[in-house]
Structure 1
């Protein structure tokens, strides 16, 4: 019988900036879940978190939204800490992992989709007490409203009885009319007229707001058309440049990809680089691991259809990876390249996920370098690059 082995990773993001160690650096955490036969191991690594003597509580949320407090992680003065725990369970169904302290959540990460109202789930006991108090307040308010309604009804009945008395007096010529009752009626009529005028003013205001919204929509539509025209102009300009400089090699980057790559540094990682290739260094972050668009690592996992790969663990170990574009002799895009840092004996997944070429960073020892994977620009599939 083959032994069952599964491995998964969860990146914890910062949710409370007051727990960061330094102003410019945000707290980070990385959880690794391994399942072997009848046991499950959870390892948590924390960085850049504010030092607290008693440490932070580690909480997990299972698939049935059951919350478990599994222990405490202690952090040193440099903001680093490690936590390990084993479970005697074949399948550990974890939906989320969080660090808590004093009714706050400094870090939390989700395995799969993000949970809504995760704070209410984690602090469920306290919320139950609060809900009871809120229900009591609502009941008390309902009682007060009923009392006020009864008082209001009594006042209306009294007013109707007064009006009937006045009508009876007017029908009888021998009886005297009270001037106070007549004045009260006049005041009521004035109030009703003022109310009708106010309602007409409110209706006019609503019509003006509707007209303003229509004008704003028209302006937005015009601005969208202008943006489209600008994009078309940019495309035409790029085509004109390509026509003018066909003899020279101009290494263009797609517009959507260029916006992302502008955030990262362009580098030359090798002593003897691949010809006609540009490289960028991508620092590790939750986006660079989880996002399923180029140049992020999730794109590679999507192509390989692998959930448990050495790609994420090695890139997280060295805190970066590289992304490159190789061009043909005519200056057109030929391959997209992902480079995972490591040593020659650290080949990701033994080459099963496309990382078959090792390029060293130095010519002398050739021990440290990058395992690279080539992706065809047209088919968007893993390809064997020309050596």
Structure 2
């Protein structure tokens, strides 16, 4: 039975170091080839390549006799560029892909065995294309549109998060001001109440002096006794209220000052990444970091992968890789128990609801949206038990 879906990857390596953008960093390119029924999609991502206004030609090597020009990839001043093309050819075979500029070959890669006469095939194709004039300015504008959209979406998300953080700080300041006003009001009430008590005592004493001395003494004793009891009750009540407030403040302070510890090796690696709050509704007792990636780092197995991705399968053949590279990052989190001990390591792959990595086979089964309105964009979550290092179902 014919396979309905197939996916291959290819790394293009530097052949001519004069085309690198930065010294000591070789140009790199990453190609993904997807075959779905009778269509073939080819996507190429380029990094650290010297900026050339006209861009680089992409030559597709099919076999020992056939090579064809499939288009041009434009790179920006940072040496990055993307190229995508679709073919309605069921049996298209790709033996190699090369980036060319005039008669030079800056990057080339092969699927399996290297084609021996690739330079001759590429030069023949270049000669056929020398007489063709293309509208590069138009292609430049079209290729830049996706980057501009991505930058706009990123700017809107950052602006939204900054606005929400400002609102939270304003609410905290209002609560503090309200508590101070309530304390001042209570002090004023207590002062007024003491003044009224003194005034009552003076009036009662004036009335008692008008009566007989015996009655005066008895009445004075009764009044003083009753006043003493009231004062003692009020004093005791104030002391109890003050003790309760001190206990509440102490508990709140202890809660705020709770420290979530990180292992020494993991802490050293996470210092290189930015700690963030990816969700509007925060997950209790959880810290998050944003892990930025590119074609040079996406295939590595350093922390904070913790060996999990490498344990499942070869990373580059998983949807985890393509989605992370598509959005240029993923997130890593640590969830703690109520007593401050590490409970889960959490991986978050960015995407939409219809972009579940590997259909959940690699543990990414829970989707958490980043906003409450559309709930379309967010992160697919996978939790790893800190002790067993196996996939776990996290507590809500």
Q: Shorter-chain-normalised TM-score: which range?
A: 0.5 to 0.7
CA distance in 2, matches of 1:125, 1:343: 42
The equivalences for 1:162-241 within 5 A come to none
CA distance in 1, matches of 2:43, 2:303: 29
Stretch deviating more after TM superposition (262-271 or 29-38): 29-38
CA distance in 2, matches of 1:42, 1:98: 13
- Would you say 1:347 and 2:387 are equivalent positions? no
- Would you say 1:276 and 2:285 are equivalent positions? yes
Provide, for residues 314-365 of structure 1, a one-character-per-residue CA deviation record: whole Å limited to 9, x for no partner: 2222111111122233433322211111223332233222111112222333
Seen in structure 2, the aligned counterparts of structure 1 residues 61 and 273 have a Cα distance that, compared at 3 Å, is: farther
Q: Give the corresponding residue for 1:75.
A: 73
CA distance in 2, matches of 1:283, 1:120: 38
**Among 248, 256, 259, which residue is 1:249 paired with?**
259
CA distance in 2, matches of 1:299, 1:60: 36
Q: Are the equivalent residues in 2 in contact too, given 1:287–1:296 (CA < 8 A)?
A: no
Q: Are the equivalent residues in 2 in contact too, given 1:57–1:100 (CA < 8 A)?
A: yes
CA distance in 2, matches of 1:297, 1:123: 43
Residue 290 of structure 1, CA deviation: 0.9
- How many residue pairs get aligned? The number is 258
CA distance in 2, matches of 1:70, 1:382: 46
CA distance in 2, matches of 1:120, 1:258: 48
Q: Are the equivalent residues in 2 in contact too, given 1:249–1:330 (CA < 8 A)?
A: no
Stretch deviating more after TM superposition (259-268 or 97-106): 97-106
Q: Give the corresponding residue for 2:378.
A: 369
Q: RMSD between aligned alpha carbons?
A: 4.3
Seen in structure 2, the aligned counterparts of structure 1 residues 93 and 14 have a Cα distance that, compared at 3 Å, is: closer
Provide, for residues 57-100 of structure 1, a one-character-per-residue CA deviation record: whole Å limited to 9, x for no partner: 436598xxx69644254234746452536596759475x64424
- Would you say 1:303 and 2:312 are equivalent positions? yes
Seen in structure 2, the aligned counterparts of structure 1 residues 34 and 119 have a Cα distance that, compared at 3 Å, is: closer
Seen in structure 2, the aligned counterparts of structure 1 residues 272 and 24 have a Cα distance that, compared at 3 Å, is: farther
Determine helix, strand or coil for the equivalent of 2:33.
strand
Seen in structure 2, the aligned counterparts of structure 1 residues 125 and 108 have a Cα distance that, compared at 3 Å, is: closer
- Would you say 1:380 and 2:378 are equivalent positions? no
Q: Are the equivalent residues in 2 in contact too, given 1:290–1:298 (CA < 8 A)?
A: no
CA distance in 1, matches of 2:321, 2:105: 25
Q: Are the equivalent residues in 1 in contact too, given 2:28–2:48 (CA < 8 A)?
A: yes
* Structure 2: 5+ residue stretches without partners: 123-256
CA distance in 1, matches of 2:335, 2:75: 45
Q: Are the equivalent residues in 1 in contact too, given 2:351–2:380 (CA < 8 A)?
A: yes
* Structure 1: 5+ residue stretches without partners: 127-246
**Among 256, 274, 278, which residue is 1:265 paired with?**
274
TM-score (norm 2): 0.51
Determine helix, strand or coil for the equivalent of 2:332.
strand
Q: Give the corresponding residue for 2:59.
A: 58
Q: Are the equivalent residues in 2 in contact too, given 1:59–1:100 (CA < 8 A)?
A: no
Q: Give the corresponding residue for 1:166.
A: none
Q: Are the equivalent residues in 2 in contact too, given 1:303–1:381 (CA < 8 A)?
A: no
Residue 283 of structure 1, CA deviation: 1.3
CA distance in 2, matches of 1:71, 1:124: 14
